[in-house]
């Protein structure tokens, strides 16, 4: 099994979610949970943005002992100096430099030609090398960059001394096939590519972040970047939990895995949701409230006969209790009987028939049936507040 390194940017790209701002204590609490989860690299922030951000990143750097702590910087000395200050006490520091490389960004944002972009990358990495042994370089908007130029950029970064080169789909524009082809081409065409780790970083504007990340893994990248619950700029980043579980569940296809402690996924998801104030949609893959809930009668009956009928991931794997049977109008007799037994009302077939009829009538009126509703139903009373 090939190891895929996990670079978590919940505290940097995730914090760039509109409306999210974390205090120093909150950043440290999340970082400690990420360390328990077993991520390899924690991007703690973007130090140059403020004195407060430097303090936050420094506190994370001081606290974390079992993961690389990363500071984000534009390709300029002032930004690099801010990362130096913030990571002074890190056990294992890493400088993360970026510069946009696509024609759109070169022309309308940077006002730099190709030669100037290459020269800026080279100078920034060489300056960073004086202070850091680990340097990641990100070619911002890589997926919209001409392939020949992207190869030149990657080559320049390697020659200057980068240890990781990240090719992000900054605006969520890539499709899985185009993205995989981009990585294959870079791996085939750039001399010295075997000396560094290749990384990917995707956004979910078209709902393809996880699919694109998996395509990059299939094309040979060593590192994936993402956030917990997929939070981040606009539609968000790749949700790390989705990639980890896809690799775990479909090892037959990828033969690759992360070092994540999978049963820390759910607690990490809850903590990030609580501290960022960004709630997780019920139908969110892996960590949504309904991700392991079964309502329809056919599914519930199948689940009770054998969980693998409708369950590809055991909820216990990510640190949750067993899958929930939601009792509602789609539920069948088998699940209802099981629910009654769980609530302490074992019953014979005749009793079941009577109560099941009443239950169906109530369920027609109410989408969700609570445990107390079922109790009062069995006791022959109509629950208050049911309709």
Which residues of the shown chain bind Zn ion in the complex (CB under 5 A)?
Answer: 13
Helix, strand, coil shares of the chain as percentages rounded to 5? 50, 15, 35
191: left (phi over 0), alpha (psi -120 to 50) or beta: beta
Work out how close the CB of 157 gets to Zn ion at its nearest, in angstroms, rounded to a whole number.
18
Distance CA 78, CA 156 (A): 21
Closer by beta carbon to Zn ion, 136 or else 264: 136
Work out how close the CB of 237 gets to Zn ion at its nearest, in angstroms, rounded to a whole number.
6
Work out how close the CB of 374 gets to Zn ion at its nearest, in angstroms, rounded to a whole number.
46
Q: Please state the separation of Cα 342 from the chain's center in Å.
A: 35
Closer by beta carbon to Zn ion, 13 or else 301: 13
**DSSP, residue by residue, 137-195:** EEEETGGGS-HHHHHHHHHHHHHHT-SEEEEEETTS---HHHHHHHHHHHHHHSTTGGG
Closer by beta carbon to Zn ion, 13 or else 152: 13
**Residues 297, 332: contact at Cβ < 8 Å?**
yes
Work out how close the CB of 210 gets to Zn ion at its nearest, in angstroms, rounded to a whole number.
15
Phi, psi of 138 (to 5 degrees): -110, 125
Closer by beta carbon to Zn ion, 13 or else 40: 13
Closer by beta carbon to Zn ion, 13 or else 15: 13
Burial 49-66 (b: 16+ CB within 10 A, else e): eeeebbbbbbbbbebbee
Closer by beta carbon to Zn ion, 13 or else 373: 13
Taking CB positions, which residue lies at the least distance from Zn ion? 13
Phi, psi of 281 (to 5 degrees): -60, 145
Work out how close the CB of 13 gets to Zn ion at its nearest, in angstroms, rounded to a whole number.
4
Work out how close the CB of 169 gets to Zn ion at its nearest, in angstroms, rounded to a whole number.
9
CA distance readout (Å), 256 to 134, 209, 218, 219, 220: 24, 18, 9, 12, 10
Closer by beta carbon to Zn ion, 9 or else 163: 9
Burial 218-240 (b: 16+ CB within 10 A, else e): bbbbbbbbbbbbbbbbeebbbbb
Closer by beta carbon to Zn ion, 39 or else 327: 39
In 299-346, beta strands by DSSP E: 324-325
Work out how close the CB of 170 gets to Zn ion at its nearest, in angstroms, rounded to a whole number.
6
Closer by beta carbon to Zn ion, 163 or else 199: 199
* Residue 198, token pair as written in the block: 């290749």
Distance CA 313, CA 291 (A): 10
Closer by beta carbon to Zn ion, 13 or else 295: 13
Nearest alpha carbon to residue 175 among 207, 137, 128, 222: 207
CA distance readout (Å), 359 to 156, 294, 304, 327: 69, 18, 20, 10
Work out how close the CB of 96 gets to Zn ion at its nearest, in angstroms, rounded to a whole number.
11
**Residues 140, 173: contact at Cβ < 8 Å?**
no
* Residue 371, token pair as written in the block: 């445990």
Phi, psi of 100 (to 5 degrees): -70, 145
Work out how close the CB of 233 gets to Zn ion at its nearest, in angstroms, rounded to a whole number.
6
Work out how close the CB of 340 gets to Zn ion at its nearest, in angstroms, rounded to a whole number.
49
* Residue 91, token pair as written in the block: 């056990």
């Amino acid at each position: 099994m090939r190891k895929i390194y996990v670079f978590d940017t919940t505290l940097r790209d995730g914090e760039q979610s509109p409306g999210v701002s974390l205090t120093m204590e909150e950043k440290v609490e999340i970082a400690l949970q990420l360390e328990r989860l077993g991520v390899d690299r924690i991007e703690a922030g973007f130090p140059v943005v403020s004195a407060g951000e430097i303090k936050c990143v420094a506190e994370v750097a001081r606290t974390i002992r079992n993961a690389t702590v990363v500071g984000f910087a534009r390709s300029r000395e002032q930004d690099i100096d801010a990362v130096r200050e913030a990571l002074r006490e890190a056990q294992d520091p890493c400088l993360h430099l970026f510069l946009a490389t696509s024609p759109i960004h070169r022309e309308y944002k940077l006002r730099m030609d190709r030669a100037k972009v290459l020269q800026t990358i080279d100078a920034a990495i060489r300056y960073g090398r004086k202070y850091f042994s680990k340097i990641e370089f990100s070619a911002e908007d890589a997926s919209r960059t001409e392939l020949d130029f992207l190869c030149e950029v990657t080559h320049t970064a390697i020659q200057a001394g980068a240890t990781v080169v990240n090719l992000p789909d900054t605006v969520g524009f890539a499709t899985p096939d185009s993205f995989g082809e981009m990585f294959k081409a870079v791996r085939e065409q750039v001399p010295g590519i075997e000396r560094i780790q290749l990384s990917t970083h995707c956004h979910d504007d078209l709902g393809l972040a996880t699919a694109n990340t998996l395509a990059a893994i299939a094309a040979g990248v060593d590192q994936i970047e993402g956030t917990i619950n997929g939070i981040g700029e606009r539609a968000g980043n790749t949700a790390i939990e989705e990639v980890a579980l896809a690799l775990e569940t479909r090892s037959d296809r990828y033969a690759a895995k992360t070092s994540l402690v999978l049963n820390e996924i759910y607690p990490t998801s809850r903590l990030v949701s609580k501290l960022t104030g960004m709630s997780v949609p019920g139908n969110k893959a892996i960590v949504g409230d309904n991700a392991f809930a079964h309502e329809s009668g056919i599914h519930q009956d199948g689940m009770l006969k054998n969980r693998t009928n409708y369950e590809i991931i055991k909820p216990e794997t990510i640190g949750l209790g067993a899958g929930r049977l939601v009792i509602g109008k789609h539920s069948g007799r088998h699940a209802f009987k099981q629910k009654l037994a769980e609530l302490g009302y074992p019953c014979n077939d005749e009793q079941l028939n009577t109560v099941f009829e009443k239950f169906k009538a109530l369920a027609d009126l109410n989408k969700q049936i609570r445990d107390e509703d079922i109790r009062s139903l069995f006791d022959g009373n109509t629950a208050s507040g049911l309709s």
